[in-house]
Chain A
Amino acid sequence: EKVFHNRDHSDVQNFNSRQAEAITDKYAAELFLSRYGFIKPVNWEEIQLEDLEPSSHSDLLDDFEGIIQEGTSSHYSRDSRVFVSALEEFQRVSALPVTGVFDEATKEAMNKPRCGVPDKEVDPNDPVRSHRRRQSVNISVDVHESRAVRRR
Protein backbone atom coordinates (compact mmCIF):
# COMPACT_ATOMS: atom_id res chain seq x y z
CA GLU A 1 0.00 0.00 0.00
CA LYS A 2 0.95 3.62 -0.19
CA VAL A 3 2.10 4.65 3.25
CA PHE A 4 -0.12 6.89 5.34
CA HIS A 5 -0.58 7.59 9.03
CA ASN A 6 -3.65 9.81 9.24
CA ARG A 7 -7.10 8.32 9.60
CA ASP A 8 -8.37 10.15 6.53
CA HIS A 9 -5.30 9.17 4.44
CA SER A 10 -4.59 12.84 3.83
CA ASP A 11 -0.84 12.26 4.28
CA VAL A 12 -0.55 9.36 1.84
CA GLN A 13 2.96 9.25 0.43
CA ASN A 14 3.66 8.37 -3.16
CA PHE A 15 7.24 7.16 -2.98
CA ASN A 16 7.14 5.11 -6.11
CA SER A 17 4.59 7.02 -8.13
CA ARG A 18 5.57 8.18 -11.52
CA GLN A 19 5.72 11.85 -12.19
CA ALA A 20 4.23 13.11 -15.40
CA GLU A 21 6.90 14.52 -17.65
CA ALA A 22 6.78 18.23 -17.35
CA ILE A 23 6.18 20.20 -20.51
CA THR A 24 9.25 22.36 -20.69
CA ASP A 25 10.06 22.80 -24.36
CA LYS A 26 8.37 23.36 -27.66
CA TYR A 27 8.61 19.71 -28.60
CA ALA A 28 6.63 18.65 -25.57
CA ALA A 29 4.27 21.55 -26.13
CA GLU A 30 3.64 20.33 -29.65
CA LEU A 31 2.82 16.89 -28.32
CA PHE A 32 0.44 18.46 -25.84
CA LEU A 33 -1.30 20.51 -28.52
CA SER A 34 -1.56 17.52 -30.78
CA ARG A 35 -2.87 15.26 -28.04
CA TYR A 36 -5.65 17.59 -27.08
CA GLY A 37 -6.72 18.43 -30.58
CA PHE A 38 -5.38 21.94 -31.02
CA ILE A 39 -3.34 21.03 -34.08
CA LYS A 40 -6.08 18.94 -35.56
CA PRO A 41 -9.32 17.70 -33.95
CA VAL A 42 -8.95 14.28 -32.42
CA ASN A 43 -11.31 11.47 -33.18
CA TRP A 44 -11.52 10.47 -29.54
CA GLU A 45 -14.16 7.85 -29.94
CA GLU A 46 -12.31 6.30 -32.86
CA ILE A 47 -9.17 6.04 -30.77
CA GLN A 48 -10.86 4.14 -28.01
CA LEU A 49 -12.54 1.77 -30.42
CA GLU A 50 -9.71 0.98 -32.78
CA ASP A 51 -7.30 -0.41 -30.31
CA LEU A 52 -9.45 -3.16 -28.97
CA GLU A 53 -7.74 -5.54 -31.36
CA PRO A 54 -4.81 -7.02 -29.45
CA SER A 55 -2.60 -6.90 -32.47
CA SER A 56 -3.01 -3.20 -32.94
CA HIS A 57 -2.66 -2.16 -29.32
CA SER A 58 -0.26 0.77 -29.04
CA ASP A 59 0.64 3.75 -26.99
CA LEU A 60 -1.03 6.90 -28.26
CA LEU A 61 1.82 9.03 -27.01
CA ASP A 62 4.21 6.94 -29.05
CA ASP A 63 2.00 7.56 -32.06
CA PHE A 64 2.16 11.27 -31.56
CA GLU A 65 5.90 11.09 -31.18
CA GLY A 66 5.96 9.00 -34.30
CA ILE A 67 4.15 11.76 -36.13
CA ILE A 68 6.72 14.30 -35.18
CA GLN A 69 9.66 12.09 -35.95
CA GLU A 70 8.66 10.05 -38.93
CA GLY A 71 7.55 11.89 -41.30
CA THR A 72 4.96 13.45 -43.10
CA SER A 73 7.19 16.23 -42.13
CA SER A 74 5.60 18.54 -44.58
CA HIS A 75 2.69 18.92 -42.21
CA TYR A 76 4.31 20.86 -39.46
CA SER A 77 7.47 21.56 -37.61
CA ARG A 78 8.07 23.41 -34.41
CA ASP A 79 8.26 26.78 -36.06
CA SER A 80 5.43 26.26 -38.45
CA ARG A 81 2.37 28.34 -38.68
CA VAL A 82 0.28 25.36 -37.66
CA PHE A 83 2.10 25.09 -34.36
CA VAL A 84 1.84 28.81 -33.70
CA SER A 85 -1.81 28.82 -34.63
CA ALA A 86 -2.48 25.91 -32.30
CA LEU A 87 -0.54 27.58 -29.54
CA GLU A 88 -2.52 30.76 -29.97
CA GLU A 89 -5.75 28.83 -29.84
CA PHE A 90 -4.68 27.18 -26.62
CA GLN A 91 -3.70 30.53 -25.16
CA ARG A 92 -6.99 32.03 -26.19
CA VAL A 93 -9.18 29.36 -24.62
CA SER A 94 -7.01 29.32 -21.51
CA ALA A 95 -7.49 33.06 -21.03
CA LEU A 96 -3.78 33.69 -21.51
CA PRO A 97 -2.19 36.53 -23.47
CA VAL A 98 -2.27 35.35 -27.07
CA THR A 99 1.37 35.69 -28.01
CA GLY A 100 1.93 32.67 -30.22
CA VAL A 101 5.04 32.14 -28.16
CA PHE A 102 5.69 29.25 -25.80
CA ASP A 103 6.13 31.55 -22.82
CA GLU A 104 6.16 30.92 -19.10
CA ALA A 105 2.46 31.47 -18.62
CA THR A 106 1.67 29.00 -21.37
CA LYS A 107 4.09 26.49 -19.97
CA GLU A 108 2.50 26.77 -16.56
CA ALA A 109 -0.97 26.34 -18.01
CA MET A 110 0.05 23.23 -19.93
CA ASN A 111 1.47 21.65 -16.81
CA LYS A 112 -1.68 22.13 -14.75
CA PRO A 113 -3.78 19.13 -13.81
CA ARG A 114 -6.34 18.57 -16.51
CA CYS A 115 -8.77 16.11 -17.99
CA GLY A 116 -7.43 13.70 -20.58
CA VAL A 117 -10.33 14.15 -23.01
CA PRO A 118 -9.23 16.25 -26.00
CA ASP A 119 -10.44 19.82 -26.17
CA LYS A 120 -11.00 19.66 -29.88
CA GLU A 121 -12.72 16.60 -31.18
CA VAL A 122 -14.14 15.56 -34.49
CA ASP A 123 -17.79 16.48 -34.03
CA PRO A 124 -19.58 13.31 -32.88
CA ASN A 125 -22.82 14.80 -34.16
CA ASP A 126 -21.53 15.31 -37.68
CA PRO A 127 -24.12 13.44 -39.78
CA VAL A 128 -21.54 12.37 -42.32
CA ARG A 129 -18.94 11.49 -39.73
CA SER A 130 -19.47 7.82 -40.10
CA HIS A 131 -18.67 8.05 -43.78
CA ARG A 132 -15.67 10.25 -43.30
CA ARG A 133 -14.24 8.32 -40.41
CA ARG A 134 -11.29 7.03 -42.33
CA GLN A 135 -10.71 10.18 -44.35
CA SER A 136 -11.23 12.97 -41.87
CA VAL A 137 -8.96 11.73 -39.12
CA ASN A 138 -5.66 13.34 -38.61
CA ILE A 139 -2.20 12.16 -39.38
CA SER A 140 -1.93 10.31 -36.09
CA VAL A 141 -4.48 7.73 -37.18
CA ASP A 142 -2.96 7.37 -40.65
CA VAL A 143 0.41 6.72 -39.09
CA HIS A 144 -1.22 4.51 -36.50
CA GLU A 145 -2.77 2.43 -39.24
CA SER A 146 0.46 2.14 -41.19
CA ARG A 147 2.28 1.06 -38.07
CA ALA A 148 -0.43 -1.45 -37.31
CA VAL A 149 -0.15 -2.80 -40.83
CA ARG A 150 3.59 -3.07 -40.48
CA ARG A 151 3.16 -4.85 -37.15
CA ARG A 152 0.79 -7.39 -38.65
Chain B
Amino acid sequence: GDKQLTMNMFYSFQ
Protein backbone atom coordinates (compact mmCIF):
# COMPACT_ATOMS: atom_id res chain seq x y z
CA GLY B 1 0.00 0.00 0.00
CA ASP B 2 0.86 3.68 -0.08
CA LYS B 3 2.61 5.45 2.75
CA GLN B 4 0.62 8.16 4.49
CA LEU B 5 2.62 11.35 5.00
CA THR B 6 1.96 13.67 7.96
CA MET B 7 1.67 17.41 8.43
CA ASN B 8 5.00 17.90 10.17
CA MET B 9 6.80 16.54 7.09
CA PHE B 10 5.68 19.75 5.35
CA TYR B 11 5.30 22.38 8.04
CA SER B 12 7.23 23.08 11.20
CA PHE B 13 5.97 24.02 14.64
CA GLN B 14 5.97 27.72 15.44
B and A form one assembly = no
